A and B are shown apart, each in its own frame.
Chain A
Amino acid sequence: MLDSLKRIFGNEKSGKVAKKRLQMVLIQDRASVSPEVMAKLRDDIIQVISKYMVIDKTDMEISLESVDDSVALVANIPVQNMRHHK
């Protein structure tokens, strides 16, 4: 009885729940990148940043993280020194 009342009032229909859940999970699925691509991206980032700064390659971290309904590329790169350009 309580269940059927719940169903009539308020509770979101499962069709809409399905749609919302899919939209969320697909953002993550579509953003998933193979380890090889991540490694290449990491190498390229190191190359670019090294033109301007001396960085600690062993301690750097690069990852894709999903925050709420979006995906972010998060990089933590310890800087040891600046390169001085003429």
Chain B
Amino acid sequence: MSEVIVVTSGKGGVGKSTTTANLGVGLAMRGKKVVLIDTDTGLRNLDLLLGLENRIMYDLIDVVEGRVEIKKALVRHKKYENLQLLPTSQVKDKSAVNPADLMALCDELRKEYDFVIIDCPAGIEQGFQTAIAGADTAIVVTMPEVSAVRDADKIIGELGRSEKDNIKLIINRIRPAMVDSGEMMDMDDINDILAIKCIGQVPDDIKVVTSANRGEPVVGDSDSQAGKAYENIVGRLLGEDIPFMEFEKEGFFKKLMKAFKLSKD
């Protein structure tokens, strides 16, 4: 049984590609055969987050226009052999692929892979419609900020109109200290607003940036709270019942320092 998942958000910059990369690596670490498809044509980045930017020969557009076989365009991950990337073109635009192309591609890949994960472009235009066309499940990524939550709601509505009813939510970049002080919405607040099943909350973590710097998604890093959160999401996608983690709080001393403005963060 294979599953095609689209990772979407509406708003840009909330961490769609980061989520796609982490879920892909996480599922591959668990032994699943995974293929990631970047559909953000013209603004490709999944290759960079996975450390595969120097290995690209062909792309999604070459495949849909019939210049190469899918197999030839797939880029194998350096560390996890059962993880493949189908990058997109950095020079073409989003109209180069249409929903029917992507649906056919997903059906082809379904035969060989346990998971096909599609990284969707921001926005609700044609690129979005193309990205969601072949998906069984949509993961909506949002952040605890008003604009990101509003856009997530819009996306959920659009998914419903396209009869994509299996929708899951990931709340990214939560700052536990701000939630604690009441200055940031928490998972329950966002659940109340969007009424979509939440499968993960990922704390804001500098390791997400430093790992992206190196092209190694944070999911393998057990010292990182975000890495742990992604591992949990992967488990939930595989049907495991994993309780939501408590975030590490700052110590009393740091809070005291902050109260007296001795510490900047």
CB closest residue in chain A, given B145: A18
Chain A neighbourhood of B149, CB < 8 A: 22
Bitwise interface map of B from 137 to 178 toward A, beta carbon under 8 Å scored 1, else 0: 000000011100110011001000000000000000000001
Most chain A CB neighbours (cut-off 10 Å) among B144, B178, B193: B193
A21 at the B interface (CB under 8 A): yes
A29 at the B interface (CB under 8 A): yes
Bitwise interface map of B from 18 to 34 toward A, beta carbon under 8 Å scored 1, else 0: 00000000000000000
How many of chain B's residues have a CB under 8 angstroms from any CB in A? Answer: 19
Is B157 touching A22 in the complex (CB atoms < 8 A)? Answer: no
Out of B145, B153, B154, B182, which one reaches A13, CB within 8 Å? B182
A83 at the B interface (CB under 8 A): no
- Say how far A3's CB is from chain B's closest CB, in angstroms: 14
- Say how far B188's CB is from chain A's closest CB, in angstroms: 10
Chain A neighbourhood of B182, CB < 8 A: 13-16
Out of A15, A19, A22, which one reaches B150, CB within 8 Å? A22
Interface SS of B by simple majority: helix
CB closest residue in chain B, given A25: B150
B183 at the A interface (CB under 8 A): yes
A40 at the B interface (CB under 8 A): no
| Given contacts A23-B193, A26-B193, A18 and B146 within 8 Å (CB-CB) | yes
Chain B neighbourhood of A19, CB < 8 A: 185, 189, 192-193
A30 at the B interface (CB under 8 A): yes
Chain A neighbourhood of B154, CB < 8 A: 29
Chain A neighbourhood of B263, CB < 8 A: none
Bitwise interface map of B from 218 to 250 toward A, beta carbon under 8 Å scored 1, else 0: 000000000000000000000000000000000
The size class of the interface chain A forms with chain B is 10 to 19
Cα A21 to Cα B157 with chains together (Å): 19
Is B183 touching A26 in the complex (CB atoms < 8 A)? Answer: no
Out of A14, A16, A21, A30, which one reaches B153, CB within 8 Å? A30
CB closest residue in chain A, given B181: A13
Is B189 touching A15 in the complex (CB atoms < 8 A)? Answer: yes
Cα A14 to Cα B182 with chains together (Å): 7
Is B146 touching A15 in the complex (CB atoms < 8 A)? Answer: no
Cα A25 to Cα B178 with chains together (Å): 23
| Given contacts A26-B150, A29-B150, A29-B153, A14 and B183 within 8 Å (CB-CB) | yes
> What 10 A-B pairs come out closest when comparing CB atoms?
A13-B182, A19-B189, A15-B182, A14-B183, A15-B185, A15-B184, A22-B193, A18-B146, A26-B153, A18-B185
Residues of B within 8 A of A (CB): 144-146, 149-150, 153-154, 157, 178-179, 181-186, 189, 192-193
Could you show 9 A-B contacts with beta carbons less than 8 Å apart? A14-B183, A14-B184, A15-B186, A18-B146, A19-B189, A22-B150, A23-B192, A26-B150, A26-B153
